[in-house]
Structure 1
Amino acid sequence: MRSVCAMNAHHKKSGPAIRQFAGRLLLGTVLSGVVMAGVVVSIAPAQAQSGALANDARVQFDIPAQNLDRALTAFADQADVKLFFPSEGIANVQAGAVSGRFTREQALQMLLSGSGYSWRVTDDDTITIIGGLGSTDASNGIVLDPVRVEAAREVERADGPVQGYVAKRSLSATKTDTPILETAQSISVVTTEEIEDQGSQTVMQAMRYTPGAFTGQVGASNRYDYVILRGLVDRSIDNIYLDGMKTMSDDSTYSSMQIDPYFVERIDTVKGPASVLYGRSSPGGLVALSSKKPEFEQKGEVELSYGTRNQRGVAFDITGPLTEGDKLAYRLVGKADAADTQFDYAKEERYVIAPSLTANFTDDTSLTLMGYFQRDPEGGTHNGVPAEGTLYPHNGRYLPRDFFDGDPSLEKFDRTQNMIGYEFEHDFDDDLGFKQNFRFLDSDVDIDQIYQTGWDGNSDNLKRAYYGGYESLRAFTVDNQLTGKFATGKVDHTLIGGLDYQHRRSRTNYWYTAVSSINPWQPSYGNPGVTFGTPYALATKTLDQTGIYVQDQLAYENWRLSLGARQDWVETDSLNRLNEKRTGEDRSELTTRAGLLYLFDNGIAPYINYSESFNPNLYADANGDPLAPTKGTQYEAGVKYQPAGRDILLTASVFHIEQENVAIADPVTFVYSPAGTIKSQGLELEARARLTDQFSVTAGYAYTDASYDAPGDAKDGKMPMQVPEHTASLWGKYSIDAGALAGLDVAAGVRYVGETWANETNTQRVPDYTLVDLSFDYDLSRIGVENADMRLNINNLFDKEYVASCNKLANCYLGQERTVLATLRYRF
């Protein structure tokens, strides 16, 4: 966002001190691609035009007809130059429209044509507007330093915060700072403002309005972040990445990590395979989180929240410099919250603290240290209930909405996840840079759970079982990147080469036993009849992955071509400590990717791409042998549109994905079995726009046609469970800036999820559902409380009762009931 302010100066003609917003494009860094640039528009007296703009390449301009001062501000923004102009009289001059690709000099000539103004260029490529009014006071002949009008453009960082709902840059798909418009792949970005406006408490909730993402796999449970992308259910819990690296969860255990969205700047969703840069990953795509990092501007906030189900929380976020000169900065983010859930006796509780420190040793070398320390003493429930009693009645009755099938005396989910890491960057020169990212994870999970296993015949009792234990996980990952920019003739290259390594070791100890049954209409708790005997399973699993990758992004005139390849070596080992049986395998895999895009001058960019994925399995079959790794291929075509100078991004894409060696777990025995190949094809539409200064909107639609390709199997040709064929969403926000309601932001959204299948043979459907969300945010400075605001979020406004999805007829998951959350925030 650009801000404009005016400052008066009354002194001699020597000129005012110019306040510059220092900008530096870190050309060699690969992951962060951090951009900090500035545009300053001010006045300095001048007498004649001289010099020429250096490297005056053509730029896309979209400047409407308006007053000259506003037109020059827009010019400085779009041309990325420093521009000084007098404020006296210039606001009364009308400038014509400039639209199209021109050099900066051509655009400036068009703006100033017939105005009586000219310009000059100084040695530092600064433009000064001269002529017209404003150099002298006619009444006394005193030469004045004119008013300085400063238009500062905050350039979006590819992994940093975004003002509003429309991100324009991303590094998640390419590991380089690349405009989304020029990336030959579908990317959706959920910004911090959208997370806040929608009252999202988990990453999974934050993606409810993202087309192509289904977040209802486990209904109202918030223990993990399940995100099904493009109809591929397999490994939906294991596609979260943090700061460009996998979170290192083990989705074959209970040790799946969860990052609280209050601690992230943005959530980028890359649709389709991304193994070329990231190694093992789902062919449906990945969800890339960007941590909040230190800033060199002192600021902070504190929040208090309270809502339904006794939800209460406090959070704070403080950042700023520790020394002068942008050398050392810190950030400290913390949160504590707790709540009951809609299920009796199930609670949620969380404590997180995340310190970070950035040191700029030189203009070319920096180091950011980061920590994330989280304790979840309570993780709610994760259980499903039978389709008989939810989708259709059992003995004429439906299960109560708040039914808890466990037992309060033996219900625990206690997760600790501690992460420390760093990002190191060094630029050898403007065109060559090195970056290394590192993170270490230490996690422990202690779990006790009793869950239903189906009806006991025709009775009103549900059979139950106990499964629990404790596990520990230690992991680290490191990613080394070297990025170079160069040209071969008229073709510009951004070449990245990398070497990464992942190591993970998990140790699990489980007990399993049948327990007493329960009547859901007359539940009796406190004596589940659990008797612990010998362990059911003791295992130690390790994974080591080494990958070498290379990618070249080529630009020739309006063409953009991306080519990439990666070689992975993966070693897995699984030790059954009960019988000392050891299984494992060594795998290597080459994955490739190619994308082609043409950027029209009017902001339309059609593209095509081909990409591959590879994901080794730590799942074992009934004999304890590891399953074959999954492989995926995707063909995608689409078109993007982003008019110059507007916060609008429209995307349409079609895709076809094939995923081989899919594994499906039995929801009762937890044994995995191969399920053949899944083919998924479809259409996705997304619009993100700030239509006016007061009104912003997001809209999305996805059509997904997924099916099994498993000849001879009953699943052949059937659609996978938990994959809606149609989803759609619409969210709008309007800011009232005048009248009695000035300072109030009103936002509302509607989400539609189409029918899904409840079983593999596609004989039982889960009905579709539509949910409405509402949000209010009021600026309390309007009533005299400065720097504070009050927000009210209402999700599932009409308290609709629905089944979110089913995993076979044994486990259906009830959707989240209406929630209301009020948040009071003070910023300083």
Structure 2
Amino acid sequence: MGPVRQPSVSPFAGHARPRAIAIATVQALLIGAPGAWLAGHVPAAHAQGAQGAQSADAHRAEAQKPYAIPPGPLAAALNRFGRDAGVMLSFSTEQTNGLQSKGLNGSHGVQSGLRALLAGTDLEAVVQANGGYVLRKEVAPPPAPAPSATAKREAESMLPEIHVSAARTPEMATGRVHGHVAKRSATGSKTDVPIVEVPQSLSVITADELAGRAVSTVKEAVGYTAGVTPSASFDLREDLTTFRGFPFDWASFYLDGLAMPSTTYGVSTSEPYGMERIEVLRGPASMLYGQNSTGGLLNMVSKRPVAEPLHELQVQLGSHDRKQLAFDLGGPIASGSEWTYRLVGLVRRSDTSVDFVEDNRTFLAPALTWKPSAATSLTLLASLLNDDLGHSGGTSAFLPASGIALPNPNGTIDRDTYGGEPGFDFYKKKQMSVGYEFLHRFDDTWQFTQNLRWRKVDLDYQTAYGLGLLASDPSRRTLRRGAFGSFGENEALAVDSQLQAKWVQAGIEHTTLIGLDLKRTQLDEKRYFGFTGPAIDIFSPVYGAGLALPATPDTDQSVEIRQAGLYAQDQMKFDQRWLLTLGGRWDAASHEVENRLKATTSRLTEGKATGRVGLTYLFDNGLAPYASMATSFTPTLASNDYGPPFKARTGKQREVGLKYQPPGSNALYTAAVFELTQRNALTADPDQVNHPAGQVQVGEYRSRGLELEAKTEITPSLSLLAAYTYLDAEVTQSNDGNVGNTPKGIPRNTVSAWASYKFRGEVLRGLGVGLGARYVGKRPSADAAGYYMVQSFTLLDAAVSYDTGEWLFALNVSNLTDKVTYDCWYARCWYGPSRQVLATATVRW
């Protein structure tokens, strides 16, 4: 028997004057007063009491999406529907051979869409345990016995019965992914589209992958991702990461599509446990996001309220006296309610592999969604994150290369050595944010969204830091030290308003996006650099020496950055196969610096045009070759002591790639080759006599490379993640005498693989194992003359878990063989973390 058809329900049912309300909604939001609409909205009455509420819940359970699939061969229509809906459809060519579909237009859920596509055939779609569907011959129902007179009277007095499928909710761009393979994303287009339709390289790390590898930092999260090289150093202050050969940049990190503000040394960080997914878009993305890093961006998607009850409590113990408690709660406020919630929290207290460095974190992220109809939703998001790194500056405090990467007559410096001063050092960072996401669909064509977030970062940080070995000490054991301090705050407000239309003209399907992106960032900071402090025997340190910051800061400034960006994008699909993506943006940005030491104020106003063009061809077998070109601009935060603020750096990328998602599979394979160029980079001012330590913007970097990545569930039990990156990066213009050199810290080759297996037999059911390996090649310590190569390394990670359904027990080991790793810049080095064992118990109800 086929699925029972649901009655058609308008998204505006029960609301008076829907068009007037919709217009008032957009007017209120565009002038920045969403409360005007909220105050004037009157919720619809619920029909037929509790059973009417259940009917509304059933309708909302099958998420509606707009489709524009023209008539044609049934196989092509089903493949197209599977990509757009984000579901697996399994069928044979014999089943669909010679059959035609009438197409699909308008908004549908997965089941109603499949019924429409299969209308007129003798096939039906049957849901599977994994959330996918298989086709089979429609089975005729057996004849029902004639009802008795009593049964007839009882049936007439009852409300109509509605059957709700227990199918897994179709994947959404900001929702949960079951397993390791995401098929949809909004990071690469700001629209909910299949990843194969994005004409740039894009990776998604799902919440299931984060949990399976027991990820604690964003840097750990991207360790198995192509095109991304996390620093090997142990540093809890920030997630040092390079994208396609370009060094870490504060403009690289986004949360829910909005930039995360940072002070110079207080970079915004995020808690992976609070994320639904972490996405990496490689290459320029300024057409969508404005001021942005040349190498790419990392967008973290917060956990959001859910319609089904969710309760999770987690306890974790581990190496270095680690103790952690976390919880994830969500669901409707009450049965049949228009309100749903999510509350995620974590408290951690831990030592680390470096003496005196602690890893103490408190995180809380509440969220609330109001969905008065299928067409309208408002989600409120907030977060609080406090990091306290104990009596330390969060790192090993700049140890010398001699004794780590370079020889020293005294041997090797111990990996747990701290070069700072525990009685003087501290690092305390507080982050808080509040915002909302609003969505309103006017009809099957138009929808309006607006995302807003206010975020603040406060930093108090001081530390003794290493200045290199004392030249006058022939024993080569004395580390010179200075006192450093950074104190400040960064407050940012960002709002992104988008109007989207899905329409068809002359056989071409359009997804058109028009947006206005506004940002304001206010940075206020003081920095102190002291170069005379008590030295320490780094091979046998004794602490307790007195240190003090200099009386006068080296930097005392207020920086304000404003940006207004207007952008437009059109994703045009024609002939069911060709997809042309065109986008352009104009940004007006101002940069004002108040130097309180010199009592001067400098201003710079820039206008920048950026864009992207991409062409993709969609084969029926799942292959999707593409070519694209994109540009970027990135603000330069370094201060210019001899003139106006520095201009933005500009970037340009050419990329050719191939994405492959076999129909009916849970897999995504990608390959890309690219060339990236960045201009306006800082390099030494030739006039060092009049401008000592001055810089000018004539530098240029170029990066070429190849990326391969596979995310696949080979069988229902076996999953594999694999990535390879080849990078040829070099300095192409500079006044520093380093033209032709590779930028510091950039390896030529990186390889990674993670395999996990879940036993499904009667004896070992619930048992899971995982094993991973990460290889990072040799990389230069500097891009200047006299650099040395930092050794390559391979790290192994492992996991064992047991899942009873209600309880999940896991044991994770990172750096399984306790391999010694380090990163070095010039004459300073930082050890990587030692082996860490984590035991986690999770209960779900």
The answer to whether the 8 A contact 2:678-2:702 is kept is: yes
How far apart, in 2, do the equivalents of 1:308 and 1:22 lie? 55
- Partner of 1:796 in structure 2? 815
How far apart, in 1, do the equivalents of 2:358 and 2:708 lie? 37
Letter in 2 for 1:350: R
CA deviations on 1:551-601 (whole Å, 9 max, x unpaired) are 111000210000011111111111111221222311111011100000011
- Specify the SS of the correspondent of 2:543: coil
**More moved, 156-165 vs 105-114:** 105-114
In the alignment, structure 1 residue 270 sits paired with structure 2 residue 281: yes
- Specify the SS of the correspondent of 2:456: strand
How far apart, in 1, do the equivalents of 2:77 and 2:373 lie? 37
Which aligned pairs between 1:643-654 and structure 2 lie closer than 5 A? 643-654=662-673
How far apart, in 2, do the equivalents of 1:392 and 1:432 lie? 62
- Partner of 2:186 in structure 1? 171
The answer to whether the 8 A contact 2:237-2:266 is kept is: no
How far apart, in 1, do the equivalents of 2:120 and 2:521 lie? 65
The answer to whether the 8 A contact 1:39-1:80 is kept is: no
How far apart, in 2, do the equivalents of 1:582 and 1:240 lie? 28
**Alpha-carbon distance change, 665 to 676 in structure 1, aligned in 2, over 3 angstroms:** closer
- Partner of 2:661 in structure 1? 642
- Partner of 2:451 in structure 1? 437
CA deviations on 1:638-692 (whole Å, 9 max, x unpaired) are 01111111101110100000011224799xx998775711100000000110111
Of residues 460, 464, 468, the one that matches 2:481 is 464
Which aligned pairs between 1:209-224 and structure 2 lie closer than 5 A? 209-216=224-231, 219-224=233-238
- Specify the SS of the correspondent of 1:637: strand
The answer to whether the 8 A contact 2:485-2:549 is kept is: no
- Specify the SS of the correspondent of 1:410: coil
In the alignment, structure 1 residue 539 sits paired with structure 2 residue 562: no
In the alignment, structure 1 residue 812 sits paired with structure 2 residue 836: no
CA deviations on 1:447-495 (whole Å, 9 max, x unpaired) are 1111101010134100001111421221111111111122220111111
**Alpha-carbon distance change, 105 to 694 in structure 1, aligned in 2, over 3 angstroms:** farther
In the alignment, structure 1 residue 580 sits paired with structure 2 residue 599: yes
- Partner of 2:744 in structure 1? 721
How far apart, in 2, do the equivalents of 1:763 and 1:54 lie? 58
The answer to whether the 8 A contact 1:614-1:632 is kept is: yes
Letter in 2 for 1:654: V
Which aligned pairs between 1:156-195 and structure 2 lie closer than 5 A? 156-195=171-210
What displacement does 1:533 show? 2.1
In the alignment, structure 1 residue 319 sits paired with structure 2 residue 330: yes
The answer to whether the 8 A contact 1:22-1:37 is kept is: no
- Partner of 2:214 in structure 1? 199
In the alignment, structure 1 residue 826 sits paired with structure 2 residue 839: no
Letter in 2 for 1:776: V
- Partner of 1:766 in structure 2? 790
What displacement does 1:393 show? 1.7
Which aligned pairs between 1:271-286 and structure 2 lie closer than 5 A? 271-286=282-297
Which aligned pairs between 1:287-686 and structure 2 lie closer than 5 A? 287-378=298-389, 381-382=394-395, 383-457=397-471, 458=474, 459-513=476-530, 514-530=532-548, 532-557=550-575, 558-621=577-640, 623=642, 625-663=644-682, 676-686=699-709
Report which of the two has the higher share of helix: 2
What displacement does 1:161 show? 1.1
**Alpha-carbon distance change, 367 to 149 in structure 1, aligned in 2, over 3 angstroms:** closer
CA deviations on 1:789-814 (whole Å, 9 max, x unpaired) are 111110000000122x2222x22221
What displacement does 1:634 show? 0.1
- Partner of 1:246 in structure 2? 259
What displacement does 1:770 show? 0.4
**Alpha-carbon distance change, 404 to 429 in structure 1, aligned in 2, over 3 angstroms:** same
How far apart, in 2, do the equivalents of 1:645 and 1:765 lie? 46
What displacement does 1:388 show? 1.5
CA deviations on 1:712-749 (whole Å, 9 max, x unpaired) are 64210111111110001111110011143221110110
How far apart, in 2, do the equivalents of 1:22 and 1:521 lie? 75
What displacement does 1:396 show? 4.2
Percent of pairs with identical residues: 33
The answer to whether the 8 A contact 2:69-2:77 is kept is: no
The answer to whether the 8 A contact 1:265-1:291 is kept is: yes
The answer to whether the 8 A contact 2:454-2:494 is kept is: yes
- Specify the SS of the correspondent of 1:404: coil
CA deviations on 1:185-233 (whole Å, 9 max, x unpaired) are 111000001111111101111000001100016x121221222110011
CA deviations on 1:614-639 (whole Å, 9 max, x unpaired) are 01212124547533311000000001
- Partner of 1:750 in structure 2? 773
Letter in 2 for 1:535: P
- Specify the SS of the correspondent of 1:620: coil
- Specify the SS of the correspondent of 1:282: coil
The answer to whether the 8 A contact 2:212-2:799 is kept is: yes
> What is the TM-score with the length of structure 1 in the denominator?
0.84
Q: How many residue pairs were aligned?
A: 752
What displacement does 1:390 show? 0.9
How far apart, in 1, do the equivalents of 2:9 and 2:743 lie? 53
- Partner of 2:19 in structure 1? none
How far apart, in 2, do the equivalents of 1:229 and 1:709 lie? 18
How far apart, in 1, do the equivalents of 2:74 and 2:683 lie? 52
What displacement does 1:545 show? 0.8
Letter in 2 for 1:488: Q
In the alignment, structure 1 residue 134 sits paired with structure 2 residue 142: yes
The answer to whether the 8 A contact 1:62-1:98 is kept is: no
- Specify the SS of the correspondent of 2:423: helix
CA deviations on 1:513-541 (whole Å, 9 max, x unpaired) are 22101111111111234365233331111
Structure with the bigger RCO (C-alpha within 8 Å, sep 6+) is: 1
The answer to whether the 8 A contact 2:261-2:490 is kept is: no
Structure 1 unaligned residues grouped into runs of 5+: 1-5, 7-14, 41-52, 64-73, 83-93, 120-126, 782-786
What displacement does 1:58 show? 4.3
How far apart, in 2, do the equivalents of 1:21 and 1:114 lie? 22
The answer to whether the 8 A contact 1:707-1:719 is kept is: yes
- Specify the SS of the correspondent of 2:350: strand
> What is the TM-score with the length of structure 2 in the denominator?
0.82
How far apart, in 2, do the equivalents of 1:735 and 1:614 lie? 45
CA RMSD, 1 decimal: 3.8
Letter in 1 for 2:831: L
- Specify the SS of the correspondent of 2:219: helix
The answer to whether the 8 A contact 2:502-2:512 is kept is: yes
Structure 2 unaligned residues grouped into runs of 5+: 13-21, 27-58, 104-113, 126-134, 156-160, 686-691
Letter in 1 for 2:479: L
Letter in 2 for 1:285: G
Which aligned pairs between 1:44-193 and structure 2 lie closer than 5 A? 56-58=71-73, 60=75, 97-98=94-95, 103-104=100-101, 134-135=142-143, 150=165, 152-193=167-208
The answer to whether the 8 A contact 1:100-1:602 is kept is: no
